[in-house]
Structure 1
């Protein structure tokens, strides 16, 4: 597994200080912490699958290597079906790509514009070129070259142009019924709470009833809709997201385990320990060590 950690721990994420991050991860059962849902981050990422990418009005099956362009204003949820996956990712702010020659907003670009096609399935040659660009970005970030961000900016623009040459994924499954709309809203509400960037934050929506109340529907209606659309229960989605956030905080912050449990909505450390061990198989302290 190769990971280039190019930013401080999540508690100190400030892309105005270090405006870019890139990493490559290979299938060994683990995936690095990816701040995919920060509202100020643009992402260009690849994943080998199998997985399903859920947007508000559609889902895309990822059954082969995919290249994805993510606008921070467009919520999504990635459902993975195997730990044996690999991929690459670069994360940056809008200001990172702005230069004297380019003053237009990246949100108006064909690949990041809301409503545009954002998922592509590259062919073998395109995959090779994309992976080479990621390797060059990672290598450049590790260098001491004073103008390395200018070089990386060119690599990012090459990635964008490569995406514009591709045909968008045609496996979209559009959902127009009530169950799909309810599920999309639920997933968006769930993702809005993350990532947690302060030990003083307390997770407010932790149970299916909490989400049902915010959506003004009966909890049974919510549970049935989510299960019908995703094949997973509402509780399973919530549990998986809390577990993933707990892992990230344990690995990438120096917060106490009690503080992490508290911000995730557990009144007592023992409750958090029991929840974590039940779902992960080890205690929070064991994972951190």
Structure 2
């Protein structure tokens, strides 16, 4: 299956491993003792807990016990098809920058979550024709269960100013997608556009986004536009000019040069390869 992977995590007592900067979301269920690093913090977690990570959250993991047991589910935003499930990712506090990504669970809650991960493992290795839909439903159920279990005090914590403006920027960026109308092109295409929409100075926006995510504002915008271009080239029958206009490019040649700079291929050659 494309865009999703479920597996049991091998316990490794070697020095911590860093993760981040990729295009997948991650949900991990751990029973044991683990040292987690994220957002400049280091936290020792024990017993059973859920850990959530998104593409904007660099993190490190170090197992502190050989008795640890863990399951992991990695998936791309593309795999979570449909506006409703994408909205669950975008608006869930579990995936928002500045929110706590660790949710403690115990007793019957832990047993229920273990059964869900085991079900996903079994389903992913089966030939059931609707296994992708089943996996999507399980992922959504785990997120909802974690939202229900999340301590109320975590929801009330104030985000610092940089984290807050970064979250607002990322949410505003994502609200423009998916592009589904050639007559309604992207309105916000550069850091100045987003800074004006958020009523902040562009330098403040750039500093905040770089501080929280480790990447410039322009890189986030470019990566998201490129991802949408790839999706339209693969899954729509729009011509290259329509795609260029819908993504805010004044001329198709500008789009061609941009796409080649980002992917190393022209839109036409990329589309032919995917046919």
Q: If the length of structure 1 is used for normalisation, what is the TM-score? A: 0.53
Question: Please, what is the CA RMSD of the aligned residues?
Answer: 5.2
In the alignment, is residue 245 of structure 1 matched against residue 228 of structure 2? yes
Equivalent residue, structure 1, for 2:255: 272
In the alignment, is residue 257 of structure 1 matched against residue 256 of structure 2? no
Cα 1:189–1:268 change in 2 (3 A) is same
Number of residues of Structure 1 aligned to a counterpart in Structure 2: 210
Q: 1 or 2 for the larger relative contact order (CA 8 Å, sep ≥6)? A: 1
Equivalent residue, structure 2, for 1:192: 175
Cα 1:261–1:241 change in 2 (3 A) is same
SS at match of 2:250: coil
1:24-173 correspondence to structure 2 within 5 Å: 24=4, 78-79=55-56, 87-88=74-75, 91=81, 129-132=118-121, 134-135=123-124, 139-141=128-130, 156=138, 160=142
Deviation at 1:46, TM superposition (A): 5.2
Q: Which is helix-richer, 1 or 2?
A: 2
Equivalent residue, structure 1, for 2:15: none
Offset from partner CA, 1:161-217 (integer Å, 9 cap, x none): 9956x9879xx9x77222221111111111110111122220000011101111111
Equivalent residue, structure 1, for 2:16: none
1:115 and 1:248 mapped to 2: Cα distance? 27
Aligned with residue 213 of structure 2, among 227, 230, 240: 230
Aligned with residue 201 of structure 1, among 173, 180, 184: 184
2:117 and 2:150 mapped to 1: Cα distance? 18
Q: Which runs of 5+ in 1 are unaligned?
A: 4-22, 35-44, 69-75, 97-106, 143-148
Q: Which runs of 5+ in 2 are unaligned?
A: 7-21, 29-36, 44-49, 59-71, 95-99
2:123 and 2:258 mapped to 1: Cα distance? 37
Deviation at 1:87, TM superposition (A): 3.4
